[in-house]
Structure 1
């Protein structure tokens, strides 16, 4: 592994994921919300920056290709757990979070199963949009602790539901692309 800027950013993002829920144990709102928002937005921005720098400066690596999606998923899933708990597990947030968690585990499992063929499950533009909407939705829901207003909660919930819908669509796309390999395994 080479310690390039993209790899360093991904490792830092991965290290930040378990810190996210810890913020709420260390501080009360609104301080915890401010710290969590800065941490999550910072992680979201570094997700874009590390990919851009890796491609622009030709610093892509196998380690980076492995650690980047793990760091993204770890941060999003940790933040989803905190948001759902913070809002008291309301039905729509819990449903959206469940869909997102299920898809992430499912697609990771498909990639693991496909092994060398996992390259067939390349990240699509729609999957990138899904990640962007997830990160914006979670940021808005965290910001609700700073500016507690029903409109902010409603916007965050609507965005998370939109992210869940995109999550279902991209999950189905990945499943469809992997189906020939799954079917071949069944024939053996």
Structure 2
């Protein structure tokens, strides 16, 4: 059990979680470009650990049930923290944060509904989810590394954040459609199974009646 918890991929996920308060402190107290660069460097380090833990887990056969829980938890905590901190200087980020919360909340609820049916195997992130995450991370790094190019309230920073909002909305719609399709498919299968059980019950009752009459 200890080996599963403290595998290399899981340690990297723990490191990613530990980097969150470091980023918050660096970003909130930053007053110069150099200090913002340090905060950005922490985000880069977090992204590297995210990439490495997935690669190591798959290539070295270190995928564990605990890791399946810890890795997305570290991702969500990191993303939420980034959005929240950057919203301090860029108010448009509050919209992105709200959409992110709605999207992930809906996905979590639908995921639980689908898991209860035990008829659908939930895969990992879809390609559009990965593209969305990549674009948002690039945008966040641009805001951190180039505050002079993307100052607060400027058309450039607003456009960058609006692109992120659009990508997040599109990703949320695509995920919602995919999850609803899975749910409808499960409902169809469940309905068919109920009909089959009724037919079997009717046949059994009919056979029992015939035996009695004989």
Normalising by structure 2, report the TM-score: 0.71
CA deviation after TM superposition for structure 1 residue 7, in Å: 0.9
- 1:60 paired residue number: 63
Listed one character per residue, the Cα deviations across residues 137-163 of structure 1 (whole Å, up to 9, x for unaligned) are 111111134xx1248965554444333
CA deviation after TM superposition for structure 1 residue 112, in Å: 3.4
Equivalent residues of 1:84, 1:93 under 8 A apart: yes
1:42 and 2:54 aligned: no
Residues 155, 124 of structure 1: alpha-carbon distance in 2 compared, 3 angstrom cutoff:
farther
CA deviation after TM superposition for structure 1 residue 31, in Å: 4.0
- 1:86 paired residue number: 89
Larger radius of gyration: 2
CA distance in 2, matches of 1:157, 1:109: 31
- Secondary structure of 1:17 counterpart: helix
Tell me whether 132-141 or 159-168 shows the greater mean CA deviation.
Answer: 159-168
Equivalent residues of 1:126, 1:170 under 8 A apart: yes
Residues 160, 52 of structure 1: alpha-carbon distance in 2 compared, 3 angstrom cutoff:
farther
CA deviation after TM superposition for structure 1 residue 135, in Å: 0.9
Q: Tell me how large the CA RMSD over aligned residues is.
A: 2.8
Gaps of 5+ in 2: 192-214
Listed one character per residue, the Cα deviations across residues 9-39 of structure 1 (whole Å, up to 9, x for unaligned) are 1111122223322223444333431221011
Partner of residue 137 from structure 2, selected from 128, 135, 138: 135
1:29 and 2:32 aligned: yes
Equivalent residues of 1:4, 1:59 under 8 A apart: yes
Residues 105, 160 of structure 1: alpha-carbon distance in 2 compared, 3 angstrom cutoff:
farther
Residues 1-188 of structure 1 mapped to structure 2, 5 A cutoff: 1-87=4-90, 89=91, 92-116=92-116, 117=118, 119-145=121-147, 148-150=148-150, 157-179=158-180, 181=183, 184=187
CA distance in 2, matches of 1:28, 1:142: 12
CA deviation after TM superposition for structure 1 residue 46, in Å: 1.4
CA distance in 1, matches of 2:161, 2:57: 29
Gaps of 5+ in 1: none
Between 1 and 2, higher relative CO (CA 8 Å, sep ≥ 6) is seen in 1
Tell me whether 155-164 or 1-10 shows the greater mean CA deviation.
Answer: 155-164
Residues 154, 137 of structure 1: alpha-carbon distance in 2 compared, 3 angstrom cutoff:
farther
